[in-house]
């Protein structure tokens, strides 16, 4: 099984459109945020599948077609890959808020689909986003969560990690992962000692 880092797109990978009812509809409007390719490359090196999960109801609104959105994502992946940052999958919800669908975050449909297709163990994975919806989505499927704070925003949703950028979030996540690995190694050493001890006793007895 793989571990994954699920990344929200707008406000995490690229600069958000100026207001809530504006959308990125052309490549020229995609401004990749500072540190993003370094952050994704670090996740690649640490063995995470990097999977984008994005609400894009601009499709339902008819502001761009699914093909146009796919080509923006293709170009985003290509540009990042050219810098050594590999995205393993891009999922988006094209639906409106009503009627409810199973994929619009905080619904967990995209994470479940990605987990099936990429053999992901959700409990060893992270959801990284800039809204409390992202944190809630991760929570619902048993991921740990990282919240990127927008300027002047305060944190809600109680994420495991709080950061000002994707790079800062990833650096913190890797520190958390290291400390988990350390604890597991200490646990392994302890259980080895126990079994050595058991062996010694058997030898002494004999
Ligand atoms: Mg966002
Ligand atoms: Zn949907």
Tens-digit pLDDT profile for residues 36-85: 999 999 999 999 999 999 999 999 999 999 999 999 999 999 999 999 99
**Tokens read off for 164:** 């000002």
Fold of 3-205: Rossmann fold (3.40.50)
Q: Give this prediction's pTM.
A: 0.88
The predicted pLDDT at position 138 comes to 98
Residue 8 among the catalytic residues: yes
Average pLDDT, the chain: 90
Report how far ligand 1's centroid is from the alpha carbon of 178 (Å): 27
Please tell me the distance from the alpha carbon of residue 22 to that of residue 196, in angstroms, as a whole number. 64
> How far is C-alpha 40 from the chain's CA centre?
10
Strands 89-93 and 3-7, how do they pair?
Answer: unpaired
Q: How far, in Å, is the centroid of ligand 1 from the Cα of 124?
A: 22
> Residue 205: what pLDDT?
37
**Cα three-residue angle 69-70-73, rounded to 5 degrees:** 90
Identify the segments of the chain with pLDDT beneath 50: 196-206
How is the chain split into domains, by residue range? 3-205
Ligand 2 centroid–CA 102 distance in Å is 6
Return the ligand number nearest the Cα of 59: 2
What is residue 156's predicted lDDT score, i.e. its pLDDT?
66
Distance 11 CA to ligand 1 centre (A): 5
Q: How far is the CA of 147 from the centre of ligand 1 (A)?
A: 10
- What does the angle CA 63 – CA 5 – CA 136 come to, to the nearest 5 degrees? 70
Strand 126-129 with 161-163, pairing: unpaired
Indicate if 21 belongs to the active site.
no
pLDDT at res. 197: 45
Active-site pick, 10, 130, 132, 134:
10
Can you give the pLDDT at residue 64?
A: 95
């Amino acid at each position: 099984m793989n571990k994954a880092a699920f990344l929200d797109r707008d406000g995490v990978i690229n600069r958000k459109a100026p207001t809530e009812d504006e959308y990125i509809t052309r490549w020229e409007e995609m401004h990749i945020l500072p540190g993003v390719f370094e952050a994704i490359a670090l996740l690649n090196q640490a063995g995470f599948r990097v999977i984008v999960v994005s609400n894009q109801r601009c499709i339902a609104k008819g502001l761009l077609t699914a093909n146009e959105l796919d080509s923006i994502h293709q170009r985003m992946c290509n540009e990042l890959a050219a810098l050594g940052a590999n995205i393993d999958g891009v999922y988006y919800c094209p639906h409106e808020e009503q009627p409810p669908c199973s994929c619009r975050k905080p619904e967990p449909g995209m994470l479940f689909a990605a987990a099936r297709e990429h053999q992901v163990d959700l409990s060893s994975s992270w959801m990284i986003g800039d809204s409390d919806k992202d944190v809630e989505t991760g929570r619902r499927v048993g991921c740990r969560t990282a919240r990127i704070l927008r300027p002047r925003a305060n944190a809600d949703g109680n994420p495991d990690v709080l950061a000002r950028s994707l790079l800062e979030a990833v650096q913190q996540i890797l520190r958390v992962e290291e400390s988990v690995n350390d604890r597991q190694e200490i646990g392994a050493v302890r259980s080895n000692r126990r079994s050595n001890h058991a062996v010694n006793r058997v030898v002494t007895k004999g």
